[in-house]
């Protein structure tokens, strides 16, 4: 299941890149297989909360419980997405890479979430290219953009 779940997240990241967005993808999978996938749509939708993990949760829809699912993401989750993981008690997260952005992996682990980092070169290459080509958009995505008056 981990291969299918992660590959769905990677495919979602590529879809986001093809749309001109931040190339981060996520999926949710359980015993029934991959149930949802999403990608960062912040640029496409002009929505600062449209991160990949949130998009995947929205695609999964309302469920009585998320405790039997694994969340896959191509990049270490930020504070927003990590909060959603903890809120919905998702017990396990598989991360593509944490070199281009360290995210909140330690915070998740402190709260009992099992986190595995793959250091997938495909995900890292997507992010490195995007950051080099669009540093201003990346800085907005991680809330490091210049202050506006």
**Active-site residue, from 7, 53, 110, 124:** 53
Tokens 């949760």 belong to: 57
Q: Is 127 helix (H, G, I), strand (E, B) or coil?
A: helix
Alpha-carbon span 117 to 120, nearest angstrom: 8
Alpha-carbon span 18 to 69, nearest angstrom: 28
Tokens 């017990």 belong to: 91
CB 107 within 8 A of CB 80: no
Among this protein's residues, is 133 annotated catalytic?
no
Q: At what angle are helices 121-133 and 2-18 packed, to 10 degrees?
A: 20
Alpha-carbon span 5 to 69, nearest angstrom: 10
Active site residues: 53
């Amino acid at each position: 299941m981990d291969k299918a779940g992660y590959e769905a997240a990677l495919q979602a990241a590529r879809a986001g890149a093809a749309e001109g967005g931040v190339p981060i993808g996520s999926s949710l999978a359980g015993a029934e297989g991959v149930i949802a996938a999403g990608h960062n749509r912040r640029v496409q939708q002009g929505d600062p909360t449209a991160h990949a993990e949130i998009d995947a949760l929205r695609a999964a829809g309302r469920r009585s419980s998320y405790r039997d699912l694994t969340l896959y993401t191509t990049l270490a989750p930020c504070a927003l997405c990590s909060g959603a993981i903890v809120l919905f008690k998702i017990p396990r997260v598989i991360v593509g890479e944490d070199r281009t952005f360290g995210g909140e992996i330690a915070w998740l682990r402190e709260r009992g979430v099992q986190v595995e980092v793959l250091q997938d070169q495909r995900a890292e290459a997507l992010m490195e290219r995007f950051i080099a080509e669009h540093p201003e958009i990346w800085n907005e995505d991680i809330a490091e953009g210049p202050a506006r008056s």
